[in-house]
A and B are shown apart, each in its own frame.
Chain A
Amino acid sequence: MAAASGSSRSSSPDLDLFELLLRLGDDRLVLGHRLSEWCGHGPILEEDIALANIALDLVGQANLFLGLAGTVEGEGRDADALAYFREAVEFRTCRLVELPRGDFGMTMMRQFLFDTWSWHRLGRLRESSHAELAGLAERSRKETTYHLRHSSTWVVRLGDGTEESHARVQRALDDLWWFTGELFVTDEVDARLAERGIAPDPAVLREPWEETVREVLVRATLHAPEVPVVARPARRGDHTEHLGHLLAEMQILARSHPGASW
């Protein structure tokens, strides 16, 4: 297969690649924003700093993926234009990252489920036939390794901790489990990208994801709910009610003062 590159065909942008880059960028932008809500509210100083650092990594990754998305689209939109001047229906986030941060147990469990998915996915994306995407995946994978180390440690500490921490993090797992289904849904865009060797078919990530998740849950004395995970794709702009509120807060400065810099 030739090294496919959407950016080289300026006459007809590679819309599948654009879509993929939005999905990668939007998930990280929204989750990074959620984590940043902890800034100044962490349970201990070290954790406050850690969450801010992880948020910074995620927003940085979003900047890279959205920047490349803008180049691929070829309409002159940069990462900021994509982040601050799209409506909720145009976002391509999964629902998992949109949910409110909840308590610390909820934040850490969500982070762990996402980090595990992200770690396996970026690992595969390093082999992408699109060289620039492969480079961004390599860069982001290294950061994600440390994120996963952090979140997996906390899941074990909270799960195998006090009665209170165990109950809270188990409740978080029960609440979040349903939202993991859509991470592994293959739609027509995914199928075409997999065919071209640009990105892995999301379905192939389920097994390694489950393996890692189970290993940590066993150690944490937690139990995955015995309910089938319903996969209702949200990628087409069908979001939770929470996304719009998050975007309103995130986008207002850029929209009130277009072009402002500091």
Chain B
Amino acid sequence: MAWSPALTAERIRELLREVKDPEVPVLDIVEMGLVRDVVVEGEGVRVDITPTYSGCPAMEVIEAEVRAALAAHGISGATVRRVFAPAWTTEWMTDAAREKLRAYGIAPPPPGPAEPVAPLGFGPTVRAVSCPFCGSPATVLESTFGSTACKSLHRCEACHQPFEHFKPH
């Protein structure tokens, strides 16, 4: 197998950008902040992944695709390890990823540390989510859970477009 002479963690990270999130195919797993660590040990490669949600069905697909993407570049037998602490947060998503989400029609989570979400579903704590289509802040929450656990369902009162929001987490 043709091992690249310059097989570095950095190079592996570049290759991992070919792996897209199956639920949000415009984003790769690096810009989503899922890749916690890449370790090149001797002839082996280990990739540490932090799952977004405990029950996220995409994780197994992502793990298989990481191995496949590396194998396509001659790196076979990479191990993928799930790391749970510290817990994944939308803060790790890059600004470029947020912009891609918006262009894709999904309102991105706000940048910076995810503010603690109030546990009760009422009161003055509900943050306005701007419409990804027209930018209007006049939107209403339809449901805390959308097509996947990581997204909520909203409707824009200005342009009447329903849309999803990647929840701060």
Contacts and interface: CB of A to CB of B under 8 A. Distances in A.
Contacts of B79: none
A118 to B, nearest CB: 10
B119 interface: yes
Nearest to B169: A142
Interface stretch (B24-32, B52-60, B67-75, B101-109): B52-60
Given A46-B153, A142-B169, A57 B146 contact: no
Contact of A216 (B51, B120, B142, B153): B120
A59 B84 CA distance: 16
A258 B149 CA distance: 30
A140 B144 CA distance: 17
B85 interface: yes
Contact of B149 (A46, A139, A143, A148): A143
Contact of B145 (A63, A138, A148, A150): A150
Greatest chain A CB density within 10 A among B57, B87, B120 is at B120
Interface residues of A, number: 38
Interface string A119-132: 10000000000011
Greatest chain A CB density within 10 A among B55, B56, B144 is at B55
B84 to A, nearest CB: 4
B121 interface: yes
Given A131-B85, A139-B84, A142-B169, A57 B54 contact: yes
A132 B85 contact: yes
B84 A145 contact: no
Contact of B120 (A50, A134, A138, A149): A149
Contact of B119 (A64, A136, A148): A148
A49 B117 contact: no
A139 B150 CA distance: 13
Interface string B123-148: 00000000000000000001111111
A60 B144 CA distance: 18
Contacts of B143: 46-47, 49-50
Greatest chain B CB density within 10 A among A49, A53, A132, A143 is at A53
A153 B117 CA distance: 14
Interface in A141-182: 142-143, 145-146, 148-153, 156
Contact of B122 (A59, A63, A156): A156
A188 interface: no
Interface residues of B, number: 29
B88 to A, nearest CB: 8
B117 A60 contact: no
Contacts of A212: 119-120
B86 interface: yes
Interface string A51-69: 0011011111101100000
Contacts of B55: 56-61, 63
B54 to A, nearest CB: 3
Contact of A135 (B57, B87, B147, B167): B87
27 contacts: A49-B143, A49-B146, A49-B147, A53-B145, A56-B57, A57-B54, A57-B55, A60-B53, A61-B55, A63-B55, A134-B85, A135-B84, A135-B86, A135-B87, A138-B84, A138-B86, A139-B88, A143-B53, A145-B117, A146-B117, A149-B117, A152-B120, A152-B122, A156-B121, A212-B119, A215-B120, A219-B122
Interface of A: 46-47, 49-50, 53-54, 56-61, 63-64, 119, 131-132, 134-136, 138-140, 142-143, 145-146, 148-153, 156, 212, 215-216, 219
Given A152-B120, A152-B122, 12 more contacts: A50-B145, A60-B55, A63-B55, A64-B54, A142-B169, A143-B54, A143-B149, A149-B117, A149-B118, A149-B144, A150-B145, A153-B122
Interface of B: 51, 53-57, 84-88, 116-122, 142-149, 153, 167, 169
